[in-house]
Amino acid sequence: MILGVETKLWTTPVSKTPDELLRIAVNLTALLAEVHPLMNRWYALPSSSKEDSIPLDDENGILAQMAQKIQKNRKRFGDFEELGASVMLSNVDNDRDWKKPGVVVLGLNPTTGFNFLSVDGIDPFGASLPSLLRNALTEMVKVVDPFFAATDVKARSPDKGLVDYQLDRRLYQHRRFFGWMGFVPAQIAHAQIRDAHAVHPVDGLGTVIVSVPGVFDPTDDAQVDKVHRVEMDLASYDLLPVTDPNLKG
């Protein structure tokens, strides 16, 4: 059973003001709303249990929350200008809906260069999930301009228990994983990476690559083997970033 998926996008770290990041968030969520109706409404997650979610169209509330986070970070880490705005958004705004399937979370953090889109409980998306996620990834690539993206999947099976591809079944420990689908900043033809299910050019920015058709199941050895072959191909083109050269065998 597939429990959830998370697409991770890495960007060059840069400081953004709350106004700059709000514009990015508004543009991106508008594009995501066109991908699926469950992503029509977005809310900034509260910083504590004492706070409420803030609708994205409440610009003053969102800007105030981001400014407050910046001040907290600068008090904690030092008054560095590099500590800019970040935001986490969700398509639900209450605890009741948070416990239901179909929760989508969008995280944007230009300061650290780590951004993500996660789906917890995939049933409401049904058979549309693969195309939904690919389209969402494509739109995110256009807006945040990552230098790499990958998609992790968590699943559970009677014989293997809880399995997280990134943690439990990735091919390399010294490189980034790629997983179900992702993005590389290069023009890649399908003939160059034949083991992949599909490749999709993105407006001259690079290529979205889908490793396996349907929904990737990390408890399925055959599917994992195919993802591994895709990752080996990407590594051979130097498109799977090395994260720790000391671990390289």
The mean pLDDT value for 43-68 works out to 92
- Three-class SS state of 5: strand
Phi, psi of 59 (to 5 degrees): -60, -40
What's the CATH architecture for 1-145?
A: 4-Layer Sandwich (3.60)
The mean pLDDT value for 148-152 works out to 99
**Cα–Cα distance list, 113 to 41, 59, 95 (Å):** 25, 23, 29
pLDDT at 39: 95
The mean pLDDT value for 137-144 works out to 97
End-to-end C-alpha distance for the chain, whole angstroms: 34
pLDDT at 74: 81
The mean pLDDT value for 212-240 works out to 97
Q: What is the pTM of this model?
A: 0.94
pLDDT of 224 strictly over 80? yes
pLDDT at 249: 47
The mean pLDDT value for 59-88 works out to 88
pLDDT of 244 strictly over 90? no
The span from the CA of 11 to the CA of 28, in Å, is 15
pLDDT of 173 strictly over 50? yes
The span from the CA of 79 to the CA of 211, in Å, is 43
Give the lowest-confidence range in 6-15, 27-36, 48-57, 134-143. Answer: 48-57
β-partners of residue 118 are 6, 105
- 98: DSSP letter: H
Enumerate the domain spans of the chain. 1-145, 147-244
Higher-confidence position of 77 and 79: 77
The mean pLDDT value for 69-81 works out to 80
pLDDT above 70 as % of the chain: 99
Q: Tell me the chain's radius of gyration from C-alpha atoms.
A: 18
pLDDT of 149 strictly over 50? yes
pLDDT of 169 strictly over 50? yes
pLDDT at 248: 64
pLDDT at 18: 97
pLDDT of 73 strictly over 90? no
